[in-house]
Chain A
Amino acid sequence: MAFFVARRLLYLLPVLIAVSLLTFSIASLLPGDLAYTILGDQATPENVAALRRDMGLDQPIWWRYLNWLGGVLQGDFGRSFRTGQTVLQAVAERLPVSIELMLLAQLGALGIGVPLAIICAARSGGPFDRFMTGTAFGMLSVPTFLSAILLIYFFAVELRWLPATGYLPFGEDPLANLRFFVLPSLTLALAEWPGIMRVLRSDMIATLQEDYIALAKAKGLPPARILFVHALKPSSLTLVTITGINIGRLIGGAVIVETIFALPGIGRLLIGAILTRDLIILQGVVLLVGAGFVITNFVVDMLYAVLDPRIRHGHS
């Protein structure tokens, strides 16, 4: 097991280096000179040259990359030239919002998708299964901006049950905070449950054909135990994968949903950085989000080993 973890950790290293390299090049290859962006069109060439020297922009790109990477390794991701905030400060401020949104959305998606998948698999081919499979397929093709607007229309405008936009920190007023999160997380959950349900349903149907399920029936076990203990665990590897990918993706913020519901999360930070050409923030945030994604997937790999003892013991 320790060997398994160590080997997976070793795989992370080249991935993280690649992520940093890509992030840096994207920011550096954007057209336009950063010094002009900061100083404006009216700046004198002397001022521009001085700023370029200060920021190291006159150095070769590989030198700038190593310089930046050295800072990153010491925890210095740079500082926004607009607000003066460091990247870490900006992210620390926004991250709780995105993480709360991500967690609530995943809970919602799993809460809808998993029970439906189990019921459908247990009665595969039946009317309920056919209806839900069709519904899931339909839901899969509804974009989040549409469901967000529909949810706002019904629950905020017509019924007036929930606020349409806004945010209050959890520490200030937990209930109000949760009320702000209902619609955005429901929007994301509606987009994600069909994938969860379809994957788990088909894996469960395959598992239910296994000899060991026939033996579990022959042992006289109750149907619920067969479904939840004997079939669910061996069927959930793909489910864990897509949940991991969803979590990793949402750590970077749900750009559209955060924008529609005016949630101050990572997604909005990114959009803001792009719109104001705040490259330091942009590359720092993208790197952190990328690292978060990679690490989440590392945790998912570890979860495989928890779910399947054959992986734990080094059989493949």
Chain B
Amino acid sequence: MTGTTLLSVEDVIVDLPTPRGNLRAVDHVDLVVGAGRTLGIVGESGCGKTMLSRAILQLLPKKAKLSGRVMFDGQDLLQLSPEKLRKLRGRSLAVVFQDPMTSLNPVLTIGTQLIETLQEHLELDDAAATRRSVELLAAVGIPAPEQRLAQYPHQLSGGMRQRVAIAIALSCEPKLLIADEPTTALDVTIQAQILDLLAREQRRRHMAMIIITHDLGVVAGRTDEVAVMYAGRVVERAPTPALFKKMRMPYTEALLAALPKLDAAPHTPLPAISGRPPDPTRPLKGCSFSPRCRYALARCQNEKPALEAAETSAHQFACFHPIEAHADANA
């Protein structure tokens, strides 16, 4: 971990009351992101990734209960007054949501939505804000940016809308950008473009970034560190190269195996992870992954493994039967 810590999530718990009982969406999560670093959070649907990001942004549903500490840039976000939090959001803490079809306001022009953010946080007059908006749109690869300012979101394609959303997020040069499944709703051909754009802007602006995804392929090569989440908990955490070289948690291995491979023979069945994540309103006594894990033994069902470091302190995992080093595990 080089540089200073920008964000640290300490023992965060998010509980959502539901008609079926309490739903623990995020369960004792600790994370650290250094200034200018990138973290990938990976896990399948419903494992708490989005709730964790909403907890960091303080955008949880009203009924949600949040405990723990979220330190950002030396301030505890949970203790901040709404007014101070507002000054932080959009200014130094920005977000790109999953679906650009719904995350832009349909009745406001692209220009309005960009300029209002700029003018809220930076002292810019109309002319300067307009100039800055054009630069931002050009920077995220939108052709004819001047004309776009007067257009509405529905006049743009999904990929273009996501570029606009990224331009809005980048507008005030944030210290941390949270990209919550930024490419899930987009065409495959656009996905790589958007991810490369995010990676390029992240490096250029020296901002920290959290990429949330269900796709291990997205974080490979684009992040410094990866945290794998399952059933609300972080089950493996490692520097990206270390993780792909030697993953220890069977869930991580299964996630990677479930990715389609280009060199596989036609009609090869995908090794999908059978079963579904456990019902979050009925927490299991043992390891949450044990019902679906091919290595699980009796101990896994009765005792919860803690997230602990193995050989190097940077690589942590929560498993009693970690996968032993076999270099061809991810072949």
Interface residues of A, Cβ cutoff 8 Å to B: 210-212, 214-222, 225, 229-230, 233-234, 307-310, 313, 315
Contacts and interface: CB of A to CB of B under 8 A. Distances in A.
Contacts of B121: 220
Instruction: List the 6 closest A-B pairs by CB distance, nearest first.
Output: A220-B90, A219-B90, A220-B89, A211-B102, A309-B152, A212-B105
A215 B88 CA distance: 14
Given A211-B97, A211-B99, A212-B105, A219 B155 contact: no
Interface string B96-109: 01010011111110
B196 interface: no
Contact of B86 (A212, A214, A220, A234): A220
23 contacts: A211-B103, A212-B102, A212-B104, A212-B105, A214-B103, A215-B97, A215-B104, A217-B59, A218-B59, A218-B94, A219-B90, A219-B116, A219-B168, A220-B88, A220-B121, A221-B86, A221-B117, A221-B120, A222-B86, A230-B108, A234-B107, A308-B107, A315-B154
B95 A215 contact: yes
Contacts of A211: 97, 99, 102-103
A214 B97 contact: yes
B117 A219 contact: yes
B104 to A, nearest CB: 6
Contacts, number: 75
Interface residues of B, number: 28
Nearest to A229: B108
A311 to B, nearest CB: 10
B158 to A, nearest CB: 14
Contact of B106 (A212, A214, A220, A222): A212
A307 B106 CA distance: 10
A212 B108 CA distance: 11
Contacts of A233: 107-108
A164 to B, nearest CB: 45
B197 to A, nearest CB: 18
Nearest to A315: B154
B152 A310 contact: yes
Given A211-B97, A214-B97, A310 B106 contact: yes
Contacts of A222: 86, 120
Nearest to B102: A211
Given A215-B97, A218-B89, 11 more contacts: A212-B104, A212-B105, A217-B89, A219-B94, A219-B117, A220-B86, A220-B90, A221-B117, A233-B107, A234-B107, A309-B154
